[in-house]
Structure 1
């Protein structure tokens, strides 16, 4: 653990009994009380996550819009100031560099939130694409700390420590001028759990007092600190993709079932030509949901039909909310019809599974 990076909340995690692991080069808690308990707290009340390992890049200047619009798959032209967009950055062949959130602060100022494991790669990619645009790129990841408070009573808890009316922040919007315990914060109505909630960004020096203030008012109401384990089970139930599982350089957004976030009607973006061709030709692979009576699926397990390997499990778990063994798999498209029977190879034994809707859990966002 000596070589990994620590967030400004590292000592708080230790004090709370967090089980710390190395995640993408960061020392972060995988759980405190337990993954199931933390998962259920987010579904029924609220949980709070340290997500300070995420990356942040600022794009400023007259050419900022044109640059970001060309960089990502979604249509940045639809954004109002202080609105947020989910998108992907793609390679020319349609594979995914990363998925990200695009915050529009102004027509000449954007804020990109990227995955921790990809920060260096993503920033190098952005710099490579930036040539010819009249704007500046700055990787400010090391200066920013972030926490996420998620769950049905997240607003009620956070409202007790902020100086604005959180009801005014709509889903996928933000307020850049929120004060918590004297610290200036950016608060957005976003998250990665399928529940209503907020993400709070501030400087490294202020994040501990922000965390402590929220925990102090929230714990009596049912707020629990939550780790990476619950973060993964929650996002999976809500069918939210994880880079390296559902999307990566060898899996396109269309194959991952994320075509909604790919606007082929845009004039241009990196990877558009390849994605348009893939859509026109028909997808060779597709991502499906499945459930199984016996055996718990895991990332990388083979999916079979008879003797043929038709794909791989991208994510699989025993769902704490649904009490079922469920998974997502990227498979040969011809086998992907709803209700089809497939097999999941768990170690050396094949267990039967059925293709079902990927909508495992009904998201509870506040629109």
Structure 2
């Protein structure tokens, strides 16, 4: 199968990045070392090419009301320039995908515009699902990625350094805020660029949707400023430390938001109906049978995805995501367990290559920036 490549592929090859197949794309897993890239984001600033993700715009009259039928989060809580994290659900309240919805406001033709950022592996299915449930509403679904680049710049010093390229300060842009700002690059006229204060690392940062030529120049200029190019490996350890879930591992169409610890996304108090609402109402009434928890190993053994979780030698669940935490210098993981094992400080064992290693349930996130 032929893999897709982003506009930065040649730059990555020249930089000696280790490339791997990921969701139909050829993406860098690391440039120098995973640990170095991880620490760069925690201590200074790192940048990721996330152009493999799906980026679509919904446009039409009352587009938000129509999209509300597909998500459990009250979209009236966000206005132009604001965004929210939420999930698409099936009829059983299983998670089809997680996504960010950005409210772009109303255009001159009274059309509401919403930008959706979707997981790469789910994009085609997501678009089909949305189209199916928005018909016959006159809502256009527009591909906003095309040849554009989506770059994530994350770390405690990113605002100061990124402001060198913007005409306006970024300090007034709140968390999950977004706007179009001019990016100034030598040899190019200023161009209006979508910048959002969102990310997937637990650090402050920005995600920038920019045309390919300007994006390549911006990547090179940020590298000169000392930003570290980072791959999927560091992105995974960073998001795990921050307790952020990965679709396909920590949540799926077999798990509900309540079970995945995403109950804060569910607004059953709103009057609007949405796909999966009745299943969530029933689960809220009956209670949970399983729940995703964070576990911390009591040794230097590392638990990986799929490793069994045990109590008294009986399997009670399995690890969905696990790694060594470069920041905390300990092994951590996520996994589903029966609700009676989900309380903080509950002890259990993890089976690793036939041996049992003690672990305990800890409060999420594992890491929280100061």
Shorter-chain TM-score above 0.5: yes
Work out the CA distance in 2 between the residues paired with 1:88 and 1:144. Answer: 25
8 A Cα contact 1:56 1:144, kept in partner = no
Matched, 1:148 2:156: no
Q: Pick the aligned partner of 1:356 from 351, 359, 362.
A: 362
Deviation at 1:70, TM superposition (A): 1.4
Secondary structure, counterpart of 1:124 in structure 2 = helix
Q: Deviations over 1:56-84 (max 9, x none)?
A: 11111113011121121211101121111
Matched, 1:202 2:202: no
Q: Deviations over 1:307-364 (max 9, x none)?
A: 3211111111111000011111111111212211111111222211111112211135
User: Which segment is superposed worse, 303-312 or 17-26?
Assistant: 303-312
Matched, 1:164 2:172: no
- Aligned twin of 1:327: 333
- Aligned twin of 1:285: 290
Matched, 1:174 2:178: yes
8 A Cα contact 2:159 2:205, kept in partner = yes
Work out the CA distance in 2 between the residues paired with 1:18 and 1:312. Answer: 32
User: Which segment is superposed worse, 274-283 or 66-75?
Assistant: 66-75
Work out the CA distance in 2 between the residues paired with 1:209 and 1:355. Answer: 45
- Aligned twin of 1:97: 96
User: Which segment is superposed worse, 255-264 or 306-315?
Assistant: 306-315
Q: Pick the aligned partner of 1:259 from 247, 259, 263.
A: 263
Matched, 1:304 2:310: yes
User: In the TM superposition, what are the counterparts of 1:21-60 in structure 2 within 5 Å?
Assistant: 21-60=20-59
Work out the CA distance in 1 between the residues paired with 2:55 and 2:182. Answer: 19
8 A Cα contact 2:167 2:181, kept in partner = no
RMSD between superposed Cα atoms in Å: 1.4
What TM-score do the two structures reach when normalised by structure 2? 0.94
User: Which segment is superposed worse, 176-185 or 56-65?
Assistant: 176-185
Deviation at 1:210, TM superposition (A): 2.0
- Aligned twin of 1:276: 281
Work out the CA distance in 2 between the residues paired with 1:20 and 1:8. Answer: 14
Deviation at 1:207, TM superposition (A): 1.7
8 A Cα contact 1:180 1:210, kept in partner = no
Deviation at 1:134, TM superposition (A): 3.0
Deviation at 1:225, TM superposition (A): 0.6
Work out the CA distance in 2 between the residues paired with 1:299 and 1:129. Answer: 34
What TM-score do the two structures reach when normalised by structure 1? 0.95
8 A Cα contact 1:174 1:188, kept in partner = yes
